[in-house]
Amino acid sequence: MSETARTVVFDTPGGPEVMRIEDRPLGEPGPGQLRIRHRAIGLNFIDTYQRSGLYPLALPHPLGMEAAGVVEAVGEGVTHLKPGDRAAYACQPPGAYTEARVMDAAQVCPLPGPISFEQGAAMMLKGMTVEYLFHRTTPLKRGDTVLFHAAAGGVGLIACQWARSEGITLIGTAGTDAKCRLALDHGASHCINYRSEDFVERVRDLTGGRGVDAVMDSVGKDTFDGSLDCLKPLGMMMSFGSASGPVPPVDIAVLGQKGSLKLTRPVLFTHLADHDTCQEMAQHLFAKVLAGDVTIRIDQRFPLDRVVDAHRALEARETTGSTVLEL
């Protein structure tokens, strides 16, 4: 009888309750593949988009985009990893909510010894997202100012530290005073409680009316229009998520009226599709962590059996930092 792995799958789009756990068979890796035994699994907002149907998947389908563990076997042509290596990844297709899996090896990265499996599982998708926002989307330099929404979340706390390490002023937003304090403690220069302040007015005040060089917005519908109003002329709007819902269609003429603004909808997996780029981004992230510039904060842990509770907490915005599923 073939070995199996407990795996979270869903058969129909919907709320957290549509997820269930089943035993799925594990095979041997083919050319360009490996088999990895997970030690920890990362939780991300994109998982909820896929489960809800906002990002459609062929059903039934497993969930999860990042994890860390130990390589058990490699297929022909895999040279950057070998059995027994510690490894971590963020990649398509979904399937990380499992004890073990066979997957393409190109986007799986060697995990440095000083970085724990939990840290690896919590940092790959979020940390490489920050890497491309700051280094691969628009030129940013020391002294620039960015507005970052959801600054106390998993991506946000990494972004706060990353900005501080590179001399970039980061103005964050969050939904409570406690979350604002958390962002400030992690390197944000300012943090705006959007429930008690108008973030557009406050950003204008903080920048002397000039606006920011770039906005990094994963919230989507609720913040998009205000984010454009926070930009200086020729500023860059990076819309990289839809936590509050998808952004409605945009009249491109508005970008000209507001100061010849630039708008992009970047996706991490476009960058990670190239093996060399993926490994380079991971090494950059690992270097930040090993140097102490970035600390990976894990504030919530759920056993795999409680994945429904984990999704409910994430969507209710009850989480801070990163969340991992334990095995």
Three-class HEC string of the chain: CCCEEEEEEECCCCCHHHEEEEEEECCCCCCCEEEEEEEEEECCHHHHHHHHCCCCCCCCEECCCEEEEEEEEECCCCCCCCCCCEEEEECCCCCCCECEEEEECCCEEECCCCCCHHHHHHHHHHHHHHHHHHHCCCCCCCCCEEEECCCCEHHHHHHHHHHHHCCCEEEEEECCHHHHHHHHHCCCCEEEECCCCCHHHHHHHHCCCCCEEEEEECCCCCCHHHHHHCEEEEEEEEECCCCCCCCCCCCCHHHHHCCCCEEECCCHHHHHCCHHHHHHHHHHHHHHHHCCCCCCCEEEEEEHHHHHHHHHHHHCCCCCEEEEEEC
Quote the pLDDT of residue 257: 97
* Mean pLDDT, range 236-252, rounded to an integer: 93
Indicate whether 89 pLDDT > 70.
yes
Indicate whether 29 pLDDT > 80.
yes
Q: Do domains 4-125+269-326 and 138-265 have the same CATH topology?
A: no
* CATH class of the structural domain 4-125+269-326: alpha beta
pLDDT bracket for residue 2 (50, 70, 90): low
Quote the pLDDT of residue 109: 98
| Domain coordinates in residue numbering, the chain | 4-125+269-326, 138-265
At 144-192, the pLDDT tens digits run 999 999 999 999 999 999 999 999 999 999 999 999 999 999 999 999 9
Indicate whether 221 pLDDT > 90.
yes
Indicate whether 238 pLDDT > 90.
yes
Query: Does the domain formed by 138-265 have CATH 3.40.50.2000?
Result: no
Quote the pLDDT of residue 1: 41
* Mean pLDDT, range 113-137, rounded to an integer: 97
Indicate whether 270 pLDDT > 80.
yes
User: Average per-residue pLDDT in the chain?
Assistant: 96
